Structure 1
C-alpha cells in the first residue's frame, strides 16, 4: 500500500462509506431535532400552565387585598367607636364622682 493512502480506509471491510456516514449523521440530527421539538412543546405547555397559575394567583391576591382593605376600614371604625365610648365613659365617671361629692356634702 502506498504511504500516501494509509489513511484511506474506504475499501476496508465493515467501514462505512462517506455516504453512509453522512446518512447516519443526518439520521442522528433528525432524531435530535424531533426530541428537542418534543421537549420544546412540553416546556411551552408547562409555561402556559404557569402563566395560568400566575393569573389565578393575581386574582386571589387582589381579592384578598380587597377583603383586607374592607376589614381594615371596619377595624378603624370600631376603634373610633371604642375611643368615643372610652371618652364618654370617662366623662360619665367624672360626672358620677361630682354627683357623689355633692351627695356626701348633704
Structure 2
C-alpha cells in the first residue's frame, strides 16, 4: 500500500519556507540587539576618552603645581636655614658676651670679698 500524501501540514508542522522566515526573523533580532550593544559600547568608549582627557589635563596641572610648590619649599628651606644659622650665631655671640661679662664681674666680686690684710 503506497500512500503519496503530503504530510507537512499535519500536526501544525511548519513548511520549509516558514522555517526559513522564522530563522531570518531571529537573525534580524540578533543583529538589531548587536547594533544596539555596539552603539552603547561606542558611547561608553567616547565617554571614557573624554574622562581620560580630563584626567590627563588635571594631572598635568597638578604636576605643574607640584613643581612650583617644590621650588617654593626649597627656597624657603634655604631662606630659613640661612636665617636660623644667623640667629644661632647672634645668640651664640650674646651668650659668649654674657659669659665673659659674668666672669669679669666674678673676678671683681672676688677682689672686693678678699679680707683686708
TM-score calculated relative to the size of structure 1 = 0.84
In structure 1, how many angstroms separate the alpha carbons of the residues matched to 2:7 and 2:40?
Answer: 44
Aligned to 1:25: 23
Number of the residue aligned with 1:74: 72
- Please give the per-residue CA displacement for 1:33-84, whole angstroms capped at 9, x wherever unaligned: 0111011011101111111101101100110111111111111111111111
With normalisation by structure 2, the TM-score equals: 0.77
Of 9, 14, 32 in structure 2, the residue corresponding to residue 16 of structure 1 is 14
Aligned to 1:5: none
Question: Which of structure 1's runs of 4+ aligned residues deviate more than 4 A?
Answer: none
Total equivalences in the alignment: 101
CA distance in 2, matches of 1:37, 1:17: 30
**Higher RCO by CA contacts (8 Å cutoff, separation 6 or greater):** 1
Runs (5+) with no aligned partner, structure 2: 106-117
Gaps of 5+ in 1: 3-7
In the TM superposition, what is the alpha-carbon distance from 1:11 to its structure 2 partner? 3.5
Measured in 2, the distance between the counterparts of 1:41 and 1:26 equals: 22
